[in-house]
Amino acid sequence: MAVNTSDIVFLAIISAGIVLCLLRMLKGPTASDRAVAVDTVSTITTALLVLLGSIFERYVYLDVALVYAVLTFIGSVAIARFLEKGI
Amino acid sequence: MIFVFFLILLMLVAAIAASVFRDLISAVIATTLVSLAASILFYLLAAPDVAMAEAAIGAALTTAIFIIAIRRTKRYEE
Amino acid sequence: MQIIGTVITGIGIIFLFIGSLGLFRLPDVYNRLQAGTKCTTLGAFFTIVGVGIMQPDWLLKTLVIALFILITNPISNHALGRASCKSGVPLCDRTVVDKTKNFEKCRPIHDELEGDGEIQ
Amino acid sequence: MRKIVSILLLAIVAVGIGLSLAKIPFGTPKTKIGRHYINEGVKETGATNTVTSVVVSYRGFDTLGEVTVLFIAAIGLGAVLSNIGKKTAGKIQPASMVLSTGCRVLFPLILVFGSYIFIHGHLTPGGGFQGGAIIASGFLLIYLGCRERRISQKASKVTESLGGLVFVVIGLLGLVFGGYFLLNFLPKGTSNTLFSAGIIPIIYIAIGFKVGSELAGIIDNLIEES
């Protein structure tokens, strides 16, 4: 495990992005805004997991990122189908 | 280490938001955010099995089951 | 190889940050969706492929992850946009053209609408 | 009042998690049995993933109990919901073309991915429970996207029962061959290859099918009958 300076900068920028999404989640006037914010956070999280896997230098950790890439959108689709009264 | 505390703070804020929101759908969305942060924490603690279970169950199945429950009751808390 | 991968990852992460900045600053749901979809899809793609270039053994699996991101992210954002259109979230007051007025399909459902547009 | 109490409780939990993270040194085995699992686990069971060797081999009987708990929960939910009776479907907004096409494209890929997770449970992170949850998410996607394709309750019940049966029969075979329940009677093979670790992959495949069909049945019950 080797943490470079670039990795720390990347993690800081990603943290700032997640904080912005969190503020939108707290503020957003309607439920749709909040759903969009959480969907964005889940995409950012997938990229973050791959980056952390490269920092830890563990190949098998990529499976978790694959689970994120495949599954997190189902929650957003469920919320969307509720909002349009489709479920 | 700072990153771990940042994640704990994120979980805390999202959980408080989930308990404060009057709109139950917004509360479910905040709960999803809690489970995302918890999964990254498990990942950082070198427990990929638990992180995978948290991701698979917390992200999709729990949200859907909460929503199916809300569909039969009221959406706004009084 | 290391330097190229780091540069590509940095570009992707800057895109991710711009996406969340747009999500925070833009005025209504539809504009926010645009920032949340395009910027983060491109940013996640660049980040993941950049990590794959940094460590060449991982390239295949990272490409699979990037492919799944490219498929799933637009689907969920499309569903969210359609849902907010159907549940009657208003456009912002600076909107110039609203083409959804002409389509019956895109109008909100008015029976037993619980008023998603209201601020709780 | 309720709000203040809930916020206070959450703050206490967060401080606890933070303190425990700050104090505990991670990665050093503390107990004797933990050191034994880490040092001898790969040699004794043949599974590269230590978590899998603990869950299925050393604590296999415990896993049988967990699976039984899930089974009882699914049966109880079906019994409760069958009293309510079928509601008419009402006016349900059909899914858009993008969503239904995406569901049809993604559903087989999700099934393949879940199978990959539980077949490779002894090599990579993951296992029967995680793979089953992924497969159930695929079925949930089908219910969200194209509602007209629903799974048959009977097939899910049969799959679930077969999964439980395979688990118990393999345990009893261990009793026949060596003298105790869930004995690893198959050859271990060389570790870090797919065909290794004896009965662990077979049990994990059974658990994967069982958990997947159970969760899919629960979702079907909740969506269609409530």
Asked whether residue B24 is domain-assigned, the answer is yes
Residue A73's pLDDT is 86
Q: What's the mean pLDDT when you consider all of chain B? A: 86
Mean pLDDT along residues A5-20: 87
Residue C110's pLDDT is 54
pLDDT value at D226 more than 80 = no
Residue C119's pLDDT is 41
pLDDT digits (tens, 9 = 90+) for A17-67: 888 888 888 887 888 888 888 888 888 888 888 888 888 888 888 888 888
Q: Burial, A64: exposed, middle or buried (Cβ in 10 Å; 0-12, 13-18, 19+)?
A: buried
Alpha-carbon distances of D99 from A60, A73, C71, D162, D164, rounded to whole Å: 31, 11, 11, 33, 35
Which residues of chain B are within 8 Å of residue D223 when distances are taken between CB atoms? 68
Mean pLDDT along residues D147-163: 82
* % of chain C residues with pLDDT over 70: 82
Mean pLDDT along residues D151-169: 85
Mean pLDDT along residues D89-107: 80
Confirm or reject contact between A64 and chain B (CB < 8 A). Answer: yes
Range of the domain at B41: 2-72
Give the count of beta carbons closer than 10 Å to the beta carbon of residue D222: 18
**Cα torsion for B50, B53, B55, B60, to the nearest 10°?**
-160
Number of Cβ pairs < 8 A linking chain C and chain D: 19
Mean pLDDT along residues C75-80: 88
Nearest CA in chain A to B26: A31
Domain ranges of chain C: 2-112
Q: Where does residue C107 fall: left (phi above 0), alpha (psi -120 to 50 degrees), or beta otherwise?
A: beta
Nearest to A11 among B3, B51, B59 (CB): B3
pLDDT digits (tens, 9 = 90+) for C42-73: 888 888 888 888 888 888 888 888 898 888 88
pLDDT value at B29 more than 60 = yes
Give strand pairing partners of B76: B23
Query: Confidence band (pLDDT; 50, 70, 90) for C103?
Result: low
Residue D218's pLDDT is 86
Structural domain tally of chain D?
1
Mean pLDDT along residues D42-71: 82
Which residues of chain C are within 8 Å of residue A30 when distances are taken between CB atoms? 29, 84, 89, 116-117, 119
Residue C109's pLDDT is 61
Asked whether residue B43 is domain-assigned, the answer is yes
Structural domain tally of chain B?
1
Confirm or reject contact between A77 and chain D (CB < 8 A). Answer: yes
User: What is the rounded distance in angstroms from the CA atom of residue D187 to the CA atom of residue D175?
Assistant: 16
Mean pLDDT along residues C96-116: 61
Residue D89's pLDDT is 55
Which residues of chain B are within 8 Å of residue A60 when distances are taken between CB atoms? 48
D99/C72 Cβ within 8 A: no
Range of the domain at D52: 2-225
Which residues of chain D are within 8 Å of residue A84 when distances are taken between CB atoms? 93
Give strand pairing partners of B23: B76
Residue B18's pLDDT is 86
Mean pLDDT along residues C6-22: 88
A70/D110 Cβ within 8 A: yes
Q: A touches which chains (3+ CB pairs under 8 A)?
A: B, C, D
pLDDT value at D189 more than 80 = no
Model-wide pTM > 0.80: yes
User: What is the rounded distance in angstroms from the CA atom of residue C108 to the CA atom of residue C106?
Assistant: 7
Query: Confidence band (pLDDT; 50, 70, 90) for C114?
Result: very low
The CA distance from D102 to the nearest CA of chain C, in Å, is 7
pLDDT value at D161 more than 60 = yes
D130/A70 Cβ within 8 A: no
Nearest to B56 among D51, D137, D223 (CB): D137
Q: Is C120 helix (H, G, I), strand (E, B) or coil?
A: coil
Which residues of chain C are within 8 Å of residue A58 when distances are taken between CB atoms? none
Residue C104's pLDDT is 63
Which residues of chain A are within 8 Å of residue D134 when distances are taken between CB atoms? 67, 70-71
